[in-house]
Chains A and B, each alone.
Chain A
């Protein structure tokens, strides 16, 4: 498996450094800001929109599930990092072998935190709205590909990240449902403040 992982890594990373515009796009996609912020903004809008209070409440509960899932994803990645310190591709191979288009992160390679977060966002949205969810899976997959392309993760890291993001969303939904009536009361309190 590690052999196949490296082979796929070098195949994807080998695509870098040929077309400058694609490199710039991948650097932007893989950056720490663009995708997480864009997905947060989508959820922010979801919180506020809805044709009637019932539909809005459904959206707001989905936003709660998604943010809980993102929190869980970060937590699980941190816990795995404590026990398993996989080296990044640029640390494992000699200089020049890996085409680095990114800064050199210092945390462990496995699993990919950013990918876990992106998939948690997409999955949480998908549970509420299939169409919007599928749309958000596109940037999530692009982040996963981009992180390998720019040389900071192995394919297995991003696959694990995606799996964590998806699984924790179901766990988050279960937790939010189990916590009823707290989420409903929270939304009611927010309605009293005219913010929901």
Chain B
């Protein structure tokens, strides 16, 4: 595996783990892979620590490798892919969590907080439904 692919994989795994950490801290059930926040913390720790250990201990990293621009591009693409993977997996796992009731919806939060009661795909579907209805 060349250094670009390895670096990309490192960032992807770290972002994947940290998104679960954020989901656990903010209690975003719709974004979490797990029911209990403790499992989210554990997953984040193992993924980030494991990815760092694999990357830095498997080879000597003090060699001329990925340049600044490539680092930035890898970072952005890996972050996007990790986010897509997270919302896809969590939407699939949590597909049975129901949309909030009418009373809950009236006080429903916007932005990331909406992921406390619904999955990302449910939110996107609702967004398009509402736009269609005007």
Report A-chain residues with C-beta under 8 Å of the C-beta of B61: 28, 31-34
Q: What bracket does the count of chain A residues touching chain B fall in?
A: 20 to 34
- Are B7 and A33 touching (Cβ within 8 A)? yes
The residue that A45 contacts in the complex, of B21, B64, B109, with Cβ under 8 A, is B21
Q: Is the CB of A45 within 8 A of B48?
A: no
- Cα distance A59–B78 when bound, in Å? 22
- The CA-CA distance from A33 to B68 in the complex, in Å, is 10
Judge whether B18 and A45 touch: CB under 8 Å.
yes
- From B11, B25, B63, give the contact of A37 (CB < 8 A): B11
Complex Cα spacing A40 to B74, Å = 13
Q: Is B22 within 8 A of A105, CB to CB?
A: no
**Cβ of A190: which chain B residues have Cβ within 8 Å of it?**
111
> Would you call A74 an interface residue if the criterion is a C-beta within 8 Å of the partner chain's C-beta atoms?
yes
The contact string, 1 if C-beta is below 8 Å from chain B, for chain A 119-138, is 00000000000000000000
Question: In angstroms, how far is the closest chain B Cβ from the Cβ of A42?
Answer: 9
Q: Among B14, B66, B75, B109, which residue has its beta carbon within 8 angstroms of that of A32?
A: B66
Which residues 163-186 of A sit at the B interface, judged by CB distance below 8 A?
A: none
For residue A103, CB closer than 8 A to chain B, the reply is yes
Q: Are B22 and A103 closer than 8 Å at their CB atoms?
A: no
Known pairs A27-B62, A31-B61, A74-B68; A44 contacts B18 (CB<8 A): yes
Known: A74-B68, A194-B114. A102 touches B18 (CB 8 A): no
Q: A27-B62, A48-B26 are in contact. Are A194 and B115 (CB under 8 A)?
A: yes
A32 to B71 CA separation, bound complex (whole angstroms): 10
Complex CA distance for A40 and B48, rounded to whole angstroms: 13
Bound: A55/B24 CA distance, A: 17
A interface secondary structure, majority: helix
| A191 x B111 contact (CB < 8 A) | yes
A196 within 8 Å of B (CB atoms): yes
Give the distance in Å from the alpha carbon of A165 to the alpha carbon of B112 in the complex: 31
Q: Is B33 an interface residue when CB atoms closer than 8 A count as contact?
A: no
Q: Which of B14, B109, B120 contacts A53 (CB 8 A)?
A: B109
**With an 8 A cutoff between CB atoms, is B129 at the interface?**
no
User: Interface readout for A41-52 with B: 1 if CB under 8 Å, 0 if not?
Assistant: 100110011100
User: Chain A residues with Cβ under 8 A from B48's Cβ?
Assistant: 41
**How many whole Å from B88's CB to the nearest CB in chain A?**
14
* A14 contacts the other chain (CB 8 A): no
Q: Which residue of A lies closest to B25 (CB)?
A: A49
Complex Cα spacing A105 to B25, Å: 41
18 A–B pairs (Cβ distance < 8 Å), ordered by A: A27-B62, A31-B56, A32-B61, A33-B10, A33-B55, A33-B61, A33-B66, A34-B61, A37-B10, A37-B14, A41-B18, A44-B79, A48-B18, A48-B19, A53-B111, A56-B111, A194-B112, A194-B114
With contacts A49-B25, A195-B112 known, what are 7 further pairs, Cβ within 8 A?
Answer: A32-B66, A33-B65, A41-B48, A44-B15, A45-B22, A53-B111, A103-B63
* Interface positions of A (Cβ within 8 A of B): 27-28, 30-34, 36-37, 40-41, 44-45, 48-50, 53, 56, 74, 101-103, 105, 113, 150, 190-192, 194-196
